[in-house]
Amino acid sequence: MDEVPTRKFAEAHAKAVVDGDMDSVTNDFIPDLRGQVSDIATQLPQPVENATVKRVDVEDDHATVEIEYSNETQSIRIRTRWEEVDGRPMIVDGAPVED
C-alpha cells in the first residue's frame, strides 16, 4: 500500500464523518462490515465536530490508520486497518484505541 493515497482516503473518511455523509462513510468499509457502521457510529462523540488523522502506518499489504473524533466535551481515537480492495484503500477492521 502507498501512504499518500491511503492518507487521502482516511482524511476524506474523517471529513465525511464530521459532515454526516453516511453514504461515503459506509462506502469506505468492505461490504462485510457495512451493516455494522451504525453500531460503530454510536461509539463516537455525538455530534462529531472534529476528526483528525493522527497516524498512518503503512506495511506491505495494509495500513493502520488512527483517527481522533471529538466534540467540545468528548474524544475517542479509532484505529482502523485499511487494505486495497477493488483498486482503493478500504477499512477491513477497526476498534477504539485503549489508553
> What local confidence, expressed as pLDDT, does residue 55 receive?
97
What does the pLDDT read at residue 98? 84
Predicted pLDDT of residue 32: 96
Tens digits of residue pLDDT in 14-24: 999 999 999 99
Number of Cα atoms under 13 Å in the Cβ half of residue 77: 10
- Which pLDDT does position 71 carry in this prediction? 98
Distances (CA, A) of 33 to 50, 60, 70, 76, 90: 24, 22, 23, 20, 11
CATH number of the domain residue 77 falls in: 3.10.450.50
Q: State how many domains the chain has.
A: 1
Residue 72 domain boundaries = 3-96
HSE (side-chain half, CA atoms, 13 Å) at 9: 25
Q: For the chain, which residues score pLDDT lower than 70? A: 99
